[in-house]
Amino acid sequence: MLYRRSGLVILVVSFVALLAGIAIAIGMAENTSYAFRVVGVFVVLGTGTALFLTARRWAGYFFALCGIACIKAALALVFGVSVAVPRLVVTDRQLVFEYFGLLGGMSILTFRFATTPPKSNLQALALVVAVVGLAWSMLIEPNIGPLIISIAAVAIAWIVQRFGQAFHGRRLA
Q: Which residues of 69-79 are buried (b: 16+ CB within 10 A; e: fewer)?
A: bbebbbbbeee
CA distance 48 to 135: 12
- Residue with more model confidence, 62 or 82: 62
Q: Is residue 146 in some structural domain?
A: yes
Better-scored residue on pLDDT, 167 or 153:
153
Residue 149 binned pLDDT confidence (cut-offs 50, 70, 90)? very high
Residue 91 domain-assigned (yes or no): yes
Give the residue-averaged pLDDT of 73-94: 79
State which residues form the domain around 90: 6-112+120-165
Task: For 30-42, write each residue's pLDDT tens digit.
Answer: 777 888 889 989 9
Is 171 contained in some domain? no
Q: Rounded mean pLDDT of 100-127?
A: 91
Residue 166: pLDDT band (50, 70, 90) is: low
Check residue 169 and give its pLDDT. 53
**Is residue 138 situated within a structural domain?**
yes
User: Pick the residue with more confidence: 57 or 141?
Assistant: 57
> How many domains are contained in the chain?
1
Residue 164 scores a pLDDT above 90:
no
pLDDT, the chain, mean: 85
Residue 35 located in a structural domain: yes
pLDDT of residue 168: 56
Can you tell me the mean pLDDT for 49-70?
Answer: 90
Is residue 170 included in any domain, yes or no? no
Asked if residue 172 belongs to a domain, the reply is no
Phi, psi of 89, deg, nearest 5: -85, 135
Q: Give a yes or no: residue 31 inside a domain.
A: yes
Residue 144 CB-half CA count within 13 A:
13
**Mean pLDDT of the 94-103 span:** 90
